[in-house]
Chain A
Amino acid sequence: MNHIKRIIKKILGKKILFYYNQIKRVSINVYSHENKVISIFKSIKNIRVYNSKNKIVSLSKLFENIKINKITNKNDNFYYDIDFFKMMNTPNSVIGNLCLDYSKILNNSLEDVKKHLNNKNIEFYNTEFETINIIEKYIDKIVKLNSKNITVCTNLSNIKNNKASSFQEALQRILFFNMLLWQTNHRLNGLGRLDKILIEYYNNDIESGVLTEEMVKNLLKEFLLLLHKDYKFKSNSLLGDTGQIIELGGIDKTGKYLCNDLTYMFIELMEELKLPDPKVLVRVSKNMPRKLMEKSLECIQTGIGCPLFANDDVIIDKLINFGYDKEDAYNYGTSACWEPYIIGKSSAQNNIKSLNFMFPLNELLEKENLNKITNFEILLKTYNNYLERYVNNLISDLKKITFEQDPFLSLFIDDCIKNGKDISLGGAKYNDFGLTGVALSNVVNSLVNIKDFVFDKNKMTLIEFNEIRKNDFEKNEAFLKKLKNNGPKYGEDDDFIINLSNNIINFASSIFENKKNILGGKYKFGLSSPNYITDSKTSPASFDGRKNGEPFNVHISTDVSNGYTGLINFAGKLDYNANRFNGNVVDFFVTPNFINDNFDKFVDFLMASIKVGFFEMQMNVVSSAKLIEARKNPEKFPNLVVRVWGFSAYFNDLPDDYKDYLIERALKNESHS
């Protein structure tokens, strides 16, 4: 798919790519029951794109034309309706992959926002003012058509003039803004720390008797289902990758762990609904109640791959050291999958490019005179040279990006209004770009194998070894197996491996340091990336025993049978300081029986792992047998959910190569136990 996109972009330009993406999304979401050609044809026929040089003109045309629906079911508690057919033309990159500060949105009306608009930059001010007017008009239109549903109408009207005052109203307001984001071409829209944001409304309504716990649960269920229903439209390249992430729990500045009834309720609902999306992340800490860890594990046990754990005890310090204000760091959420994100204050494009550690090694092998590499130190040094060149190229590529002017986001992301500057021009408080790292594992294992076979044991020269690799290990099956099994490997708590990994990432870090991106922010990267399959297709065989085109290793994982503790120890010793905190996820498989039989000890393990200091963690709890069965008979497993990248997805929605890779990893895990 990505090739096709690249080709389209090259030949026809980004405008056509924009159309291509939108048509694809609409056809798959609205007409998935139809034949593919018909669905595309119908989508093309029905799509309307509003295209004006002036953003405000496009915006107002869009909102004038959006089809507003009547709430037909009088039991519906919310209005949430995206008109997939109406859109603005946004050929440049739309800033997305972020999360608005919903606590602020609940506490302020649109009129309150207007009060902050000042005269600093007249043009910006007028645009923002107009944008609010457009939203207000849109609200009026919805209200007019649905006047019979008084609660929904009041809740919507209040967005204009009042702060939210009830639990249901708070949910409606979040839904409304989420809907606006999707409607205006923003992708990967996070939901934020909903347990923390909503608890005040919940407590008030429960105390005053307006709501019972049961009613709250039902409202939340409706809320989640509404967010889920258009997941196909909302997904990026893989179905399920919607970025609708909810962060739960977390420590405050005093180290106290905050969680509440809603924390548990959200997890219970995830467990009950078994939906891949929205997804949940739990901010964990050694100070968290064991009960919450138990509840989280129960949810994971169902196999839906969530929650993901983010370790406050590790992450927050890194954010502060990088330069985020303490208060902001403690209130972190994540972009789409796992990249720590300063909620409501950052334009951070945290998945702007992949940083592939294998590419510079490939280039080295192509261009370098291998005779000159006579020992491991020289090899490392040469690799670093190529890494430096590669990173510098990435940085200059990133200079070419232009972002779409975005008056809507600029209203709600700090400090655009204060600075009088659109978010696309760097108006936000933080403007750092994030890269997602992939294939470090394969590079480390490759280097270890070269060291072992060429320099330590003198079994062959590097040139000979390289020839075998270039031939894709053909007729060298026994040697290939040896390469695959040769240890120690990435993901083991072995001093040499840990030092080597840290050396490479520290060096990569230093290249990025002091470089400014086009919005004036810095660069950061992490060691997990969605690109382990896409990037690998064009990457030749590697010394770790990976054949031509085979996937790279996933995130921070291992296929060594040293148990889970070794992997966590390894992750705990990686150095995430400086700019290396853009998502570092330990990823592993567990069989359902293993957790069932050892539930308490598994909770012990997770609690201990927090202290050992993993950065983030996710797992797939499923047996290979089930996956294999589902691969053969998809119709029997319509609801089977698995974890890929940093989200959960229906197994049946995934491309075959992803399915096969999951099966391969599940089998590997089981062969150890």
Chain B
Amino acid sequence: MKAIVSNIQRFCLHDGPGIRTTVFFKGCNLRCPWCSNPENIDFNIQEYEEDGELLHYGYEISLEELEKEILKDKLYYEENGGVTFSGGDGLIQFKKIEPLLKNLKKDNINICVETSLVVSEELVDIAIKYVDTFLVDLKILNQNDANKINTDVSLYKQNVKKLFDNHCNVIFRIPLVPEYTYTDSNIEEILKFLQEYKPKLVQVFKLHRLGEKKYKTLNKKMPEFKNITDEEINSFMNKIKELKINVEYCKI
């Protein structure tokens, strides 16, 4: 069995607790225009050109090799570090990699996943068995607006409910994009949603343009977005704090 990954990044300090190795899978069901990893949206290996050289986004890797790569930094993980599956959508290849997940659990490796949670129920069921921390995107909650990013709000909500029903450890991550997530009506919905679930932690972050070069290589253009001010971020964070929910701002 082989997975398709675009990158395995070691010594990651921002993708969950402790020191982590982050595996970037290819494939995502959503189409967020601000996506910072546009090369990971497509499920397949993609060719691109740089300085006249033919290169590829993504490569196949066997589960054994992937496991070996993850275990290389085992000694640094200690109690809370481990592996983070990201992407694209970190859950997207979970069916394929279930044997790997099993082995990692046996090896006591902490597993995090970064996901849009807009995935089939089947994948969520597998994840619940193995994942220690879910880093779940919280974006647009009104289906009409959500169409813009190709998401399915009811599937999302159903999956979130499932995680909480199963007492999973969930951290919500909110990208603040003025035209999309940071609108008055969506903020209201988000707050309501948070109040309902009372997660242990919420992380908010601004979008960044580090992926711009990658858009170019894919013959796409990264759209411009309105800037969001520090005051706006603070006021949003304060509203979350008022709900007695921990919130932190993530620098990238």
| A interface list, Cβ under 8 A from B | 478, 493, 562-566, 569, 597-598, 601, 604-605, 608-609, 611-612
Contacts and interface: CB of A to CB of B under 8 A. Distances in A.
Contact of B75 (A478, A566, A597, A608): A608
A598 B10 contact: no
B219 to A, nearest CB: 23
Contact of B76 (A478, A562, A597, A604): A604
A609 B78 CA distance: 11
A563 B9 contact: yes
B191 to A, nearest CB: 28
Nearest to B12: A563
B124 interface: no
Contact of B11 (A478, A597, A605, A611): A605
B18 interface: yes
A565 B18 CA distance: 13
A292 B137 CA distance: 39
B13 A566 contact: no
A564 B12 CA distance: 10
Given A565-B10, A612-B76, 7 more contacts: A493-B72, A563-B11, A565-B76, A605-B11, A608-B75, A608-B76, A609-B76
B190 interface: no
A565 B72 contact: yes
B10 A563 contact: yes
B251 interface: yes
Give 9 closest A-B pairs by Cβ, nearest first.
A563-B11, A563-B10, A608-B76, A598-B13, A565-B73, A565-B11, A601-B13, A612-B75, A565-B10
Interface in B1-56: 9-11, 13, 18-19, 51-52
Nearest to A607: B78
A471 B10 CA distance: 38
Contacts of B72: 493, 565-566, 569
Interface in B85-130: none
Interface of B: 9-11, 13, 18-19, 51-52, 72-73, 75-76, 78, 81, 251
B75 A564 contact: no
Contacts of A569: 72-73
B64 to A, nearest CB: 14
Nearest to A612: B75
Nearest to B81: A604
Contact of A611 (B19, B75, B81): B75
By CB atoms of chain A within 10 A, which of B19, B81, B251 has the most? B19
29 contacts: A562-B10, A563-B9, A563-B10, A563-B11, A564-B11, A565-B11, A565-B19, A565-B72, A565-B73, A565-B76, A566-B10, A569-B72, A569-B73, A597-B13, A597-B251, A598-B13, A601-B13, A601-B19, A604-B18, A604-B76, A604-B78, A604-B81, A605-B19, A608-B19, A608-B75, A608-B76, A608-B78, A609-B76, A611-B75
A563 B12 CA distance: 9
A609 B9 CA distance: 18
Contacts of B81: 604
Nearest to A561: B9
A601 B52 CA distance: 40
A611 B74 CA distance: 11
A598 B78 CA distance: 16
Contacts of A563: 9-11
A36 B238 CA distance: 64
A598 B19 CA distance: 10
Contacts of A478: 51-52
A626 to B, nearest CB: 20
B133 to A, nearest CB: 16
Nearest to A608: B76
A453 to B, nearest CB: 16
B205 to A, nearest CB: 14
Contacts of B18: 601, 604
Contacts of B73: 565, 569
Nearest to A594: B13
A565 B12 CA distance: 10
Nearest to B17: A601
Nearest to B8: A562
A569 B19 CA distance: 15
A612 B71 CA distance: 13
Nearest to B14: A598
Nearest to A593: B251
Contacts of A493: 72
B93 to A, nearest CB: 23
A458 to B, nearest CB: 20
Nearest to A494: B72
B55 to A, nearest CB: 12
A600 to B, nearest CB: 10
B103 to A, nearest CB: 20
A660 B113 CA distance: 42
Contacts of A564: 11
Nearest to B80: A604
By CB atoms of chain B within 10 A, which of A564, A601, A612 has the most? A601
